[in-house]
Structure 1
Amino acid sequence: MSVENRTILYTGAAGGLGLPATLAFLAEGATVVAVDHDPAKVAALRAAADEQGKGRLVVAALDMSDLGAFRTALEGLSQEVGGFDVVINNAAIYPSKPFEDYTIEEHQAVQRVNVDAGIVCVQVALPSMRAKGFGRIVNVVSVTLSGGWANLSPYVQSKGALLGLTRAWAREFGAYGVTVNAISPGAFPTDAEKIHPDPEGYNRYVLERQAVKRRGTPADIASTLSFLCSDGAGFITGQTLNVDGGWWMT
């Protein structure tokens, strides 16, 4: 159940949860087109990939908020690598403030990156997947959909949209041999937690709600993605897999 010789389009691939999964895919012999625009994180990903010396890493430092330019760049990359076999829609922005303080433009900006750019990824990748009779799409949603967080309404809205698209795409693309699933990470200790003013209190809050009394690690996400993107997950589609230590049981 590996992704050897597959080509993976992975947004947010150099982030706290993205980097370990990217390295895991490369270790399995995949080509990873890593979309990320944070220079320091990209440099760390390049260094780690060079040290590992496996797979093929293609870094694409793209502005996902410029959907037209993003589509054009992805189309060029798709031609360069022979099409995408896997799409992982992981990149997201997460401003935090009370609902009434957001402008409609701020809401739209979050949807543009977190949802619309993911739609573009799938629109670019789908023709090749359909021609090959194989494809894996994984949308990264969030435990925040359980309703336990305030001040994140545009982010939660965006993750709800991705969950809806997961189900719609799964129904529509199954005839092409393409599966579509979502993973819902719990509260992992990444840069996203820096928005919380009391880190120690937040850590206690997380552990109190989880059945498993440890914090999640990037390896927990990497192994889940590797499975859903493999041949072995070919009969699983339209599902959401909660990777949250038993926080939200559905």
Structure 2
Amino acid sequence: MNEFEGRRILYTGAAGGLGLATTLSLLAAGAQVLAIDHDPQKISALTSAAAEQGLSDRLSITDVDLTDKPALQDAISNLLAGGGIDTVINNAAIYPSKPFEQYSLEEQARIHAVNVEAGIVCVMMALPGMREKGFGRILNMASITFTGGWENLTPYIQSKGALIGLTRGWAREFGKWGITANAISPGAFPTDAEKIHPDQEGYQRRILESQAIKRRGAPADIANAILFLISEKAGFITGQNLNVDGGWVMQ
């Protein structure tokens, strides 16, 4: 039996950016994906792609505004009524770009609500079932921007640092119950997120000059890392942040 058969994965931001392709990889591996997203066009694209590949029977999509914590809690409660959640992937993020002094406190709070607090809600609600089962996987999608070198993204970078902190705290606290917590920091991947860079040609050059591997990252690169870190094979790995960036940042 495939180890991912029967796995129930709560995945925020599952329809956008790298989410769509990695969701399809998880479904193809046999997992049931409980996708949470809030973009109608991207949700429609994921629904269509899953149907085309014959994977719809293992996909559940819930449209929730992640800044609305009561709505998120209600949505997860409904999903838990259908069975436990043994894996949480906190992937959803917003990433406005401008100088720090131009952000209002409300804008900074919204970034933190989507990028960090929604993940905290997901883990809080999934944790009792993981404890009871004696098994769980938590995966936070961080970013290599946390290492420095990027301007005009301070609230986003702050949120990714918070996720790395949560990864380590959760790893320490939850390990005794057979639960691991890790993070993945993607490098530069061709997604809508790159549209925030005004000089696209210069940005492409910077990426390839910075990476040791001279090609752009592909969704499969992230999907392979996700599948490994949530697998049984990674059961002795916890509290770690894995850079998947073609050798841009080396630690």
Identify the residue that residue 242 of structure 2 maps to in structure 1. Answer: 241
TM score, norm. by length of structure 1: 0.97
Q: Which secondary structure state, in structure 2, belongs to the residue aligned with residue 222 of structure 1?
A: helix
Q: Displacement of 1:67 after TM fit? A: 0.8
Q: Is 1:78 aligned to 2:84, yes or no?
A: no
Q: Is 1:9 aligned to 2:10, yes or no?
A: yes
Q: Which amino acid aligns with 2:131?
A: R
- Residue number among 59, 68, 71 corresponding to 1:69 in the alignment: 71
Identify the residue that residue 131 of structure 1 maps to in structure 2. Answer: 132
Give the whole-Å Cα distance in 1 for the aligned partners of 2:240 and 2:183.
6
In structure 2, list runs of 5 or more residues that go unmatched: none
1:11-26 matches, within 5 Å, as 11-26=12-27
In structure 1, list runs of 5 or more residues that go unmatched: none
Identify the residue that residue 184 of structure 1 maps to in structure 2. Answer: 185
- Residue number among 43, 58, 61 corresponding to 2:60 in the alignment: 58
Contact kept? 1:10, 1:34, Cα under 8 Å: yes
TM score, norm. by length of structure 2: 0.97
1:194-205 matches, within 5 Å, as 194-205=195-206
Q: Which secondary structure state, in structure 2, belongs to the residue aligned with residue 158 of structure 1?
A: helix
Per-residue CA deviation, residues 144-187 of structure 1 (Å, 9 max, x unaligned), is: 01111101111000000000000000000000100000000001
Identify the residue that residue 174 of structure 1 maps to in structure 2. Answer: 175
CA RMSD of aligned residues (A): 1.0
Identify the residue that residue 155 of structure 2 maps to in structure 1. Answer: 154
Question: Which of structure 1's runs of 4+ aligned residues deviate more than 3 A?
Answer: none
Give the whole-Å Cα distance in 1 for the aligned partners of 2:102 and 2:44.
35
Bigger relative contact order, structure 1 or 2 (CA pairs below 8 A, ≥6 apart): 1
Q: Which amino acid aligns with 2:20?
A: L
Q: Which amino acid aligns with 1:112?
A: A
Q: Which secondary structure state, in structure 1, belongs to the residue aligned with residue 81 of structure 2?
A: helix
Per-residue CA deviation, residues 195-242 of structure 1 (Å, 9 max, x unaligned), is: 111111100001111000001011100111011111111111000110
- Which stretch has the larger CA shift, 47-56 or 127-136? 47-56
Contact kept? 1:2, 1:226, Cα under 8 Å: no
Residues paired across the two proteins, number: 249
Q: Displacement of 1:16 after TM fit? A: 2.2
Identify the residue that residue 225 of structure 1 maps to in structure 2. Answer: 226
Identify the residue that residue 114 of structure 1 maps to in structure 2. Answer: 115
Give the whole-Å Cα distance in 2 for the aligned partners of 1:144 and 1:173.
27
Contact kept? 1:16, 1:218, Cα under 8 Å: no
